[in-house]
Structure 1
């Protein structure tokens, strides 16, 4: 069992992961210009976190079944976020407020250790993502993400993966053919 699933199980056992929401395809979980510090555990479906700049959408990260998603900037700063979170297909999330989550984490050293492990993995993945974006070759970016997260290509529509990889959907299609 991965760390995120273990954390979710601990929260359920503790009786504090009791809220859930079902989103229809293309429905927003979070829009820009507001504060949202909830943590969302994806039970079904998939979500994207993106930023809009000059009317162009830029996918920052993607979430799917058994993953955790939030507006990171808002979660850590408790400030207004420009990020948006949108369902890519019908999606069910279980969620918890940051306050309830942190109280639970601080109450038990094992939970806190698990949270640190998740944060370490998140920082590692964000660093890998930044490296991916510095690589000029779209084919190499594709290969790196395919090696690191092959399940992404089963769960997420390709046009959003292309946005995540900073390439046109047509470029991704060409690369995948070879």
Structure 2
């Protein structure tokens, strides 16, 4: 819970006391290795914080699986379109290892707005942060070479290369596993 409180405080620039109020609404959840947090077509009914472990967000197309994100400790987890707009999920979210979460149900999420006056401002910051991450990712795909995308990802998440199957990282970076292997060999 301390890790979640700290994340709220830092990410949303609020006091430790305010962060504790928000964190107290989350419940612990254990996601066993290979268990699904969410499957395509379901409605996402939870918003979680990853305390430990790894998860993969991916979709299956007719031709292949596409990895959108690999989440680890210190990150929030949900299918934001499904959670916020109550749409069927496009993404599968599956644990790559035993994963410990702090989870807020959709019903409790709706109560935040009523019970916690600062929630609207925090929600706005969270969505803006998500948008910023998405913009950076789009920029990387448009402006950087495969080698530069690899170098940037490796600099940010070096531990993933020992814990995540390389074909998932290759997919996340928009390259084939063979291209990733060639880049790593250099």
TM-score bracket, shorter-length normalisation: 0.7 to 0.9
Q: CA deviation at 1:115?
A: 2.6
Match runs of 1:11-22 below 5 Å: 11-13=22-24, 16-18=25-27, 20-22=28-30
Q: Give the TM-score, by structure 2 length.
A: 0.79
Number of positions where the alignment pairs a residue of Structure 1 with one of Structure 2: 172
Deviations 1:58-110 (A, max 9, x none): 11122110110111221122021121000011111121122311321453343
Match runs of 1:1-178 below 5 Å: 1=6, 2-3=10-11, 9-13=20-24, 16-18=25-27, 20-135=28-143, 137-146=145-154, 150=156, 152-155=157-160, 157=164, 158-178=166-186
Which of the pair has the greater relative contact order for Cα pairs under 8 Å at 6+ separation? 1
State the Cα RMSD in Å: 2.5
Q: Which range moved further: 39-48 or 97-106?
A: 97-106
Q: Give the TM-score, by structure 1 length.
A: 0.82
Deviations 1:129-178 (A, max 9, x none): 1222334721122234345xx1x231451332211111123322332343
The runs of at least 4 consecutive aligned structure 1 residues that moved more than 6 Å come to 4-8
Gaps of at least 5 residues in structure 2 are 1-5
Matches of 1:71 and 1:119, distance apart in 2? 12
Decide whether the 8 Å contact of 1:8 with 1:41 is kept in 2: no
Alignment partner, residue 3 of structure 2: none
Q: CA deviation at 1:8?
A: 6.7
